[in-house]
């Protein structure tokens, strides 16, 4: 029960997010109107991405310090799941931007920063692909992962806040924060955040298990020969 309790919680939280997120009443605001519901999807997905990339960088550091092989697998899997949530977050953000800004892609500083850090993480996967499986790949990938994480933080959280940006919460633009968020929306927003973050870790766990199974299969075949 304890082992899959958090998975049941994920399913319930996300079902609740989808149902309540689309059906419950939301405040009527100019321009945003119904598109305010993106708050239940776009923002929590980015929370999930940041959480997973943080975990990935953390396991990268741990790999460099401790040198155990499974830590590298964890780090890579968290990065994969983070990438998926980042893609989903970007797509939902683009749909939102289409209705409120008028274009899917606006070259807003926040979007530019997100696009660049997306490229950085793509480069991380390219680096992993171009090295042979082994200790060296794990070490170099961990180093680049830490570098990527360190460059993501200013690109997404610092530079957009310093420049003029239409993205809520940037450039003195009043956006969503803990104090002005409608209390009805909070009832959905917090469970949604937890749900999307948990989903990311669940996906990462599936990838870890898959890779472990593949490895065991290989070992098994090797023994039979």
Partner 1 sequence: MNWLAIVKKEFTLELRKKSVIASLGLYLFSIVFILYLSFGQASMGPVAWTAFFWVALLFTAVSTIAKSFIGERKGVFVYYYYTVPAGDFIIGKLVYNALLSSVMGLVGYCLFILFLGDAIQDHVIFLSALVLASVGFAASLTLISSLAAKTNNGSVLMAVLSFPLVVSILLIAVKLTKNCVDGLGWSASSDELLILGAINSLVTALSYLLFPYIWRS
Rounded Cα–Cα distance for residues 109 and 112 (Å):
5
Rounded Cα–Cα distance for residues 30 and 20 (Å):
22
- Among residues 7 and 139, whose Cβ is nearest to partner 1? 139
Tokens coding 158:
């610092």
Query: Does the footprint of partner 1 cover residue 126 (CB under 8 A)?
Result: yes
CB 14 within 8 A of CB 195: yes
Query: Does the footprint of partner 1 cover residue 164 (CB under 8 A)?
Result: no
Helix (H, G, I), strand (E, B) or coil at 25: coil
Q: Give the one residue of 58, 91, 95, 159 binding partner 1; rule: CB under 8 A.
A: 159
Query: Does the footprint of partner 1 cover residue 127 (CB under 8 A)?
Result: yes
Site map (CB under 8 A) of partner 1, residues 62-101, x = contact = --x-------------------------------------
- Among residues 91 and 120, whose Cβ is nearest to partner 1? 120
- Among residues 32 and 120, whose Cβ is nearest to partner 1? 120
- Among residues 124 and 201, whose Cβ is nearest to partner 1? 124
Q: Give the one residue of 32, 140, 166, 181 binding partner 1; rule: CB under 8 A.
A: 140
Give residue for tokens 């409120």. Answer: 100
Nearest distance, CB of residue 48 and partner 1, angstroms: 22
CB 124 within 8 A of CB 145: yes
Nearest distance, CB of residue 80 and partner 1, angstroms: 18
- Of 5, 2, 3, 16, the C-alpha closest to 196 is 16
Rounded Cα–Cα distance for residues 138 and 77 (Å):
12
Query: Does the footprint of partner 1 cover residue 112 (CB under 8 A)?
Result: yes
C-alpha dist (Å) from residue 109 to 29, 161, 173, 197, 205 = 24, 9, 13, 25, 33
Nearest distance, CB of residue 60 and partner 1, angstroms: 10
Q: How many residues belong to the site for partner 1 (CB under 8 A)?
A: 28
Rounded Cα–Cα distance for residues 58 and 150 (Å):
12
**Most distant CA atoms of the chain, gap in Å:** 69
Which among 3-11, 76-84, 95-103, 110-118 is the span making contact with partner 1, rule CB under 8 A?
A: 110-118
Given the rule CB under 8 A, which residues bind partner 1?
A: 64, 112-113, 116-117, 119-120, 123, 126-127, 130-131, 135-136, 139-140, 142-144, 146-148, 150-151, 154-155, 159, 162
């Amino acid at each position: 029960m304890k082992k899959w309790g958090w998975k049941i919680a994920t399913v319930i939280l996300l079902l609740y997010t989808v149902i309540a997120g689309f059906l419950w009443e939301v405040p009527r605001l100019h321009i945003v109107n119904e598109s305010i519901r993106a708050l239940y999807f776009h923002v929590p997905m980015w929370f999930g991405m940041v959480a997973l990339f943080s975990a990935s960088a953390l396991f990268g550091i741990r790999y460099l310090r401790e040198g155990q092989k499974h830590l590298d697998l964890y780090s890579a899997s968290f990065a994969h799941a983070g990438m998926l949530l980042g893609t989903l977050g970007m797509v939902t953000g683009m749909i939102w931007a289409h209705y409120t800004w008028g274009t899917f892609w606006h070259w807003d500083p926040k979007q530019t920063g997100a696009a660049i850090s997306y490229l950085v993480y793509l480069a991380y996967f390219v680096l992993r692909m171009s090295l042979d499986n082994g200790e060296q790949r794990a070490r170099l990938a961990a180093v680049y992962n830490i570098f990527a994480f360190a460059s993501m933080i200013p690109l997404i959280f610092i530079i957009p806040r310093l420049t003029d940006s239409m993205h809520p919460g940037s450039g003195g633009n009043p956006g969503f924060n803990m104090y002005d968020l409608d209390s009805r929306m909070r009832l959905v927003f917090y469970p949604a955040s937890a749900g999307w973050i948990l989903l990311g870790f669940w996906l990462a766990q599936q990838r870890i298990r898959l890779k472990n199974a593949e490895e065991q299969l290989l070992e098994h075949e090797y023994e039979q020969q």
